[in-house]
Amino acid sequence: QICLSLVKLLFYLAHSPLGSIVLLDFQPRQFVMVDGNLKVTDMDDASTEELSCKEDNDCTLDFPTKSFPVKCSAVGKCEGINEKKNLFNAYRYFFTYLLPHSAPSALQPFLSDILNATGDLRYGINETLKAFEKVLHLYKSGLYLQKRSLHLKDYISLKGFRAVEEPDYKCWPSYSHLGCLLSIHSAEEAAAICNSQSQCQSFIVTERRTWTGRPLASFQSSPTDLIPDANAVVYIKRSASLGERL
């Protein structure tokens, strides 16, 4: 969410009515999330000036660990240098820390492509935004899931009940520090996740939603006490002993 919001912001800056705007003091502390969107807190160090040049050698874009050649345009400006500077700073301050941990394993290759392409400045901001929107579409639609998964058959579903919420085993990247609460596309995906975790014996798909509209599922290490809830369904592994909980 943070990376996509940042890319949308940089897309606007690259195509602003004032021309391409560069953030000269590009640091994480310069940004804040407001209603799910990333905002710049200080525009004092923003500039629309692009470096003047006489030849391509005047346009090298230097960073502490990398340098990139930039073309000198016919009007004597380093072509796209503001956009490239913003994008590489987004890569080194945000993408490298957030993207490797931001999606299901099936989508990680797409994020790795974005990471590599922006790290080498092979993508401009237009291509980067399209790549992010593609990953978001796959994520929200569930198209990244294997179509023939049948993990849910390993579970008994109990409608009209939910498990008592209490601290349990933790997982990454959980939405709760008290247990394992993950974003899912469907109960089938939740079953696949539960099967992949040795501690997991049951799960419930909650009514809570993430910013993408996907539901959150709570995974538990044992079928805990069940309480009536007309709108809920709890899924318990067939191999788990229900005992007197029913």
Would you name the residues annotated as active-site residues? 25
Determine the Cα–Cα distance for residues 231 and 237; give it in Å rounded to an integer: 20
- With H, G, I as helix, E, B as strand and everything else as coil, classify residue 23: strand
Q: CB count, 10 Å around CB of 62?
A: 9
The percent helix, strand, coil of the chain (3-state, each to 5) is: 35, 25, 40
Instruction: Give the DSSP letter string of 182-233.
Output: EE-SSHHHHHHHHHH-TT--EEEEEEEE-TTSPEEEEEESS---EEEEEEEE
Is residue 71 within 8 A of residue 42, CB to CB? The reply is: no
Based on the number of CB atoms within 10 Å of its own CB, is 93 exposed (0-12), middle (13-18) or buried (19 or more)?
middle
Determine the Cα–Cα distance for residues 134 and 145; give it in Å rounded to an integer: 15
Name the nearest CA neighbour of 140 among 103, 108, 166, 113: 103
